[in-house]
Amino acid sequence: MILAPVTGEYVPLSDVKDDVFSQKLMGDGFGIQPTDQTIYAPVSGKVVSIFKTKHAIGLQTATGLEVLIHLGIDTVELAGQPFELFVSEGQEIMAGDKLATENIAMIKEAAKDPIVLTLITNSATTDSEIVEHLSSQAKVDANSLALIVK
């Protein structure tokens, strides 16, 4: 199970306005157009990477599933300004733990998309497969079930 990392509107990857994500070049998953700024861990495991611009956090579960939380589209250009992190690399986390906040207004003022993407980056090399997605444009609450992986 992968939980929604933020409250907002569920967006299938195919509807994301960036080919890298919509064509699943970084992996399968989903997006959420956030209505709240707090980002939570969608899975339990370990923080394995944090980009220096704070826009992406890599997690790995005990079963080896690699999950990337990507905050916004082209937000790397904002040099970390809209983000505050509450975790560090190597830290063990539980699903539902607070990972970060994102300043949605600042991102929009910079003409960027604040969508929060949750991607399984190693599904091609593991036995995992997504068996159920939510419906397009469903309203989701942070920490509610968003994706079923087997």
Residue 86 structure tokens:
């509450």
- Candidate list 54, 55, 70, 112, residue with the active-site label: 70
Residue ranges of E strands in 1-150: 2-3, 8-12, 28-34, 38-40, 45-50, 56-60, 66-73, 83-85, 92-93, 98-102, 113-120, 130-133, 139-140, 145-149
Residue type, 149: V
70 is catalytic: yes
Q: Distance (Å, rounded) from C-alpha 79 to C-alpha 36?
A: 21
Catalytic site positions = 70
